Amino acid sequence: MSKINKKIGFIGAGNMGEAFVGALIQTGIFSPSMIYTSDISENRLDILNKTYGISVMKDNFKVFSECEIVIIA
């Protein structure tokens, strides 16, 4: 499957958000540099950043402004 060259963002870094992120990276559809996520929990953001190397932020609006695709997880 070919990579999608668009930024994708997830509002929510819980179990569902992490499952999406992991699957997209594992299948090679998105590179970690094209994935953004936001959450109120700094701990969850740190975990996803360290585990997957994705961009993380606490501001949901920033995800919407940075990404062409946004999923609420």
Number of domains present in the structure of the chain: 1
Residue 32 lies in a domain: yes
Residue 5 lies in a domain: no
Residue 10 lies in a domain: no
Cβ 1 vs Cβ 58: under 8 Å: no
pLDDT in tens, 7-65: 999 999 999 999 999 999 999 999 999 999 999 999 999 999 999 999 999 999 999 99
Residue-number span of the structural domain to which 27 is assigned = 19-72
Residue 3 lies in a domain: no
In which band, very low, low, confident or very high, does the pLDDT at 2 lie, cut at 50, 70 and 90? confident
Residue 65 lies in a domain: yes
Residue 38 lies in a domain: yes
What pLDDT score was predicted for residue 31?
Answer: 96
Residue 6 lies in a domain: no
What pLDDT score was predicted for residue 1?
Answer: 67
| Angle, helix 42-52 to helix 15-26, in steps of 10 degrees | 10
Residue 37 lies in a domain: yes
Cβ 72 vs Cβ 12: under 8 Å: yes
The beta-strand segments (E) located in the chain are: 8-11, 35-38, 55-57, 69-72
**Rounded Cα gap, residues 15 and 8, in angstroms:** 17
